[in-house]
Structure 1
Amino acid sequence: MPDRKPLSTPLPPQDPTRVARGRGTLAQPAPRFDQKRREWEHDGWEIAEEPQAVQREVTLEAPRSVIAWNQSPDLGFDRAVNPYRGCEHGCIYCYARPTHAYLGLSPGLDFETRLVARPDAAQVLAAELGRKSYRVAPLALGSNTDPWQPIEAQHRITRGLLEVLRDWRHPLTITTRGALIERDLHILSEMAALGLVEVGISLTTLDAGLARAMEPRAPAPARRLAMISALAEAGIPVRLMMAPVIPGLTDHEIEPIMQAAREAGAQVAWWSLLRLPHEVSPLFQDWLEEHRPGHAAKVMARLREMRDGRDNDGGFHSRFRGSGTMAGLLDQRVRLARKRLGYAEVLPPLDCDLFRAPPKAGDQLSLF
């Protein structure tokens, strides 16, 4: 049985004075930890109001720690750092949307517009790396929200983190779809020359119209392919991240996406099935009914077939790939395309042996 109410039970009414220009959703489902429910209601005054685009708000946070640890067997890393909370790319399917509930904010529009930046993240990270108890292993950047989302151009927090990791010679894995990463190619190429970095570029579709509807403020598919080319030309190992694959909507593009990314310079390819945790399920289904109504029933039926009858499966070993015949066929298609297109099975392991504290001003440098 599906684990959400049917679409006949809608999300809370949306404020009609707001327009969805460049936003994934205008819906504001209440945070699941909030005991109060907020809904828009007309005030009764018959006064026409000019619709306004929703503006971005950024709050600054001073964290005591920036390294987040995990023990998930599904992930290839046990530590991560995220410079921002929320993401203005506005991808409607983003599995990170529910994390905004921990801030008392809605996983809907708030996730895209009420952002949190951590300006001291680089200094805090350097302090954590310098602890005697710290043991080096690859650190993930962009595991939750995109480190090169548009506000990075102003705040430059990701840039500061990269500089710290380069100076400490710390191995790093990256996931992004933000074109601003090209600003930092010189740092990444320095790290790549030492075997310290690999970059995953997320690509969900080659259909520019579909991408604009699903990922309203993310770079277009052609732009992301250009990012892969730029990274590859700079000597940086690139991983294609087909995430998410949406059954009944984008799964027919698996082979064309893999071919386009391989031609652009991607060396390995990875995929994951659409995930709809918590509030993401009604948001995504509402989006389907508005933007792709002819696909809605098929998408959800196929997804539930791969999720044991549910909208989402958060279990280890199955949350990324699903289960059953359909999920197995998707995985087989990816494996066959990898072989046919000449993808490597894995990238070379990152070097953990170069890690050391950077020299301080006035230190005597070694002659050898």
Structure 2
Amino acid sequence: MDDFSQPVVFQRPPTALKGRGAASGMAHRFERDQREAVDDGWPVSEDEAFAAQTFPTRVIRETARSALSRNDSPDIAFDQAINPYRGCEHGCSYCYARPTHSYLGLSPGLDFETQIVAKHNLPELLDQALSRPGYVPRLTNVGSATDCYQPVERELGLTRRLIEVFQRHRHPFSIITKSSLIERDLDLLAPLAQQGLVAVYITITTLDATLARRLEPRAASPLRRLRTVKTLAEAGIPVGVSVAPQIPFLNEDMERVLSAAAEAGAGSAFYTVLRLPWELNELFQQWLQQHYPERADRIMARVRDFRGGQDYQSDFKTRMKGHGLWADLLNQRFHKACARLGLNRERHELDVSQFLRDPDQAFRQPSLFDDPIQVDAGPSSRRAPAHPVRTD
């Protein structure tokens, strides 16, 4: 019987595909059969034939059963999340959400960025969830797994419809994205910001345009994201920057990113280090061999320094920031840069006390026989918003 307990080791890395982060449709961890690419000496190798194919994006319509997912992880500060899409066309080579495509029977490689699942009924489910008698408003993040403003959002508009539901219920939420498409929804976000109901975080991994094209092949350029930060800030929307993930010997310009973001109007920042769960470990190492073979061993050696000698550790205490000497030095760099730039100086609060369970009743002319509208805002009516955690 074949042993599939160990990851496949490619004798030669697959050929990089233009405009895609992954270079193969590698088998997911639940699949029984796996293939190994080898150089058999023929003029046209299997890799080259594979690279010559085109891989158009396909949108799969899914009827979701629930809207909100509760968070009980102590290293993630927001209470619940909502994600309108599974998979992400941005194709970020480091995306920790890639292995979730395995649960769909799809590859965490090319399928993750070409087979996009759209939860078409999510806005209706969200409205139902917020209208339930026992619902207590909690800080909610949109796009914590895959980007809620990825290219398919331009046509489908699921994220905009979710914002409209939050607006009706006056429910606080945050958004994290690396797309300039969020500017389309300024007409909704600016009024919500004035009411203390929204905060936005823009991911800027590096200012190196060449590196960004390789790391995040279909995402907006770093300079375009900085312009988005400025646009949001000028519209009065609280905006922060995510400099995640930090990858040793690759995106070493964290201080430059923070400085440019602060100049553009960002008021807060956070970071995480590279995470390599499940199939992502092999996928990312393939990517390193394709684009930075001379640095691959050095990068992975330092990644293991962050993880106690392993490629990845999933414990809540260290998975976001790592541990050890190099993790401590990175943490010091980040906090000193933020202190110098005035980032994270003030805690911006999102207001849960305005929540309306039944917006239609709230705006209806009351009669003498109506009971006062009761809003249960939970044990605390206000709370500082959490920094949403994503590495794509």
Q: TM-score, normalised by structure 1?
A: 0.91
Whether the 8 Å CA contact 2:28–2:102 is kept in 1: the answer is: yes
SS at match of 2:184: helix
Q: Compute the displacement of 1:66 (Å).
A: 1.4
Mark the CA change 1:363 to 1:336 in structure 2 (over 3 Å): closer, same or farther: closer
Per the alignment, residue 276 of structure 1 pairs with: 276
Structure 2: how far apart are the matches of 1:364 and 1:238? Answer: 34
Per the alignment, residue 80 of structure 1 pairs with: 81
State yes or no: 1:21 paired with 2:22: no
Per the alignment, residue 61 of structure 1 pairs with: 62
Structure 2: how far apart are the matches of 1:239 and 1:29? Answer: 35
State yes or no: 1:209 paired with 2:206: no
Q: Compute the displacement of 1:344 (Å).
A: 2.5
Letter in 1 for 2:159: T
Structure 2 unaligned segments of length 5 or more: list them: 368-392
Per the alignment, residue 103 of structure 2 pairs with: 102
Structure 2: how far apart are the matches of 1:40 and 1:57? Answer: 26
Letter in 2 for 1:151: V
Per the alignment, residue 192 of structure 1 pairs with: 193
State yes or no: 1:150 paired with 2:132: no
Structure 2: how far apart are the matches of 1:148 and 1:192? Answer: 19
Per the alignment, residue 229 of structure 1 pairs with: 230
State yes or no: 1:311 paired with 2:324: no
Per the alignment, residue 286 of structure 1 pairs with: 286
Q: Percent identity?
A: 46
Per the alignment, residue 387 of structure 2 pairs with: none
State yes or no: 1:356 paired with 2:372: no
SS at match of 1:181: helix
Q: Compute the displacement of 1:365 (Å).
A: 3.1
SS at match of 1:146: coil
Structure 2: how far apart are the matches of 1:320 and 1:345? Answer: 22
Whether the 8 Å CA contact 2:13–2:286 is kept in 1: the answer is: no
Structure 1: how far apart are the matches of 2:216 and 2:311? Answer: 21
Whether the 8 Å CA contact 1:83–1:158 is kept in 2: the answer is: yes
Structure 2: how far apart are the matches of 1:11 and 1:152? Answer: 38
Structure 2: how far apart are the matches of 1:204 and 1:214? Answer: 9
Q: Compute the displacement of 1:52 (Å).
A: 3.3
Whether the 8 Å CA contact 2:21–2:91 is kept in 1: the answer is: yes
State yes or no: 1:344 paired with 2:341: no
Per the alignment, residue 134 of structure 2 pairs with: 133
After superposition, residues 248-287 of structure 1 pair within 5 angstroms as 248-250=249-251, 252-287=252-287
Structure 1: how far apart are the matches of 2:119 and 2:239? Answer: 27
Mark the CA change 1:11 to 1:78 in structure 2 (over 3 Å): closer, same or farther: farther
Whether the 8 Å CA contact 1:20–1:54 is kept in 2: the answer is: no
Q: Compute the displacement of 1:357 (Å).
A: 3.1
1:308-331 per-residue CA deviation (whole Å, 9 max, x = no partner) reads: 001111110211100001100100
Number of aligned residues: 357
Per the alignment, residue 378 of structure 2 pairs with: none
1:138-160 per-residue CA deviation (whole Å, 9 max, x = no partner) reads: 11101000000000011110010
Q: Compute the displacement of 1:38 (Å).
A: 5.8
Mark the CA change 1:362 to 1:234 in structure 2 (over 3 Å): closer, same or farther: closer
1:251-304 per-residue CA deviation (whole Å, 9 max, x = no partner) reads: x31111110000011101101101111111111111111111122111111110
Per the alignment, residue 122 of structure 2 pairs with: 121
SS at match of 1:53: coil
Whether the 8 Å CA contact 1:12–1:27 is kept in 2: the answer is: no
Whether the 8 Å CA contact 1:238–1:267 is kept in 2: the answer is: yes
Q: Compute the displacement of 1:226 (Å).
A: 0.5
Structure 1: how far apart are the matches of 2:100 and 2:346? Answer: 30
Structure 2: how far apart are the matches of 1:364 and 1:246? Answer: 54
Per the alignment, residue 388 of structure 2 pairs with: none
Structure 2: how far apart are the matches of 1:68 and 1:181? Answer: 23
Q: Compute the displacement of 1:358 (Å).
A: 4.9
Structure 1: how far apart are the matches of 2:11 and 2:103? Answer: 20
Letter in 1 for 2:193: A
State yes or no: 1:35 paired with 2:32: yes
State yes or no: 1:321 paired with 2:324: no
Mark the CA change 1:306 to 1:359 in structure 2 (over 3 Å): closer, same or farther: closer
Structure 1: how far apart are the matches of 2:187 and 2:7? Answer: 50
Whether the 8 Å CA contact 1:244–1:274 is kept in 2: the answer is: yes
Whether the 8 Å CA contact 1:12–1:29 is kept in 2: the answer is: no
Mark the CA change 1:317 to 1:333 in structure 2 (over 3 Å): closer, same or farther: same
SS at match of 2:175: strand
SS at match of 2:359: coil
Structure 2: how far apart are the matches of 1:362 and 1:263? Answer: 41
Per the alignment, residue 335 of structure 2 pairs with: 335
Per the alignment, residue 296 of structure 1 pairs with: 296
Q: Compute the displacement of 1:345 (Å).
A: 3.8
Structure 1: how far apart are the matches of 2:244 and 2:74? Answer: 18
Q: Compute the displacement of 1:136 (Å).
A: 0.6
SS at match of 2:272: strand
Structure 1: how far apart are the matches of 2:7 and 2:29? Answer: 18
Structure 2: how far apart are the matches of 1:165 and 1:243? Answer: 27
State yes or no: 1:89 paired with 2:57: no
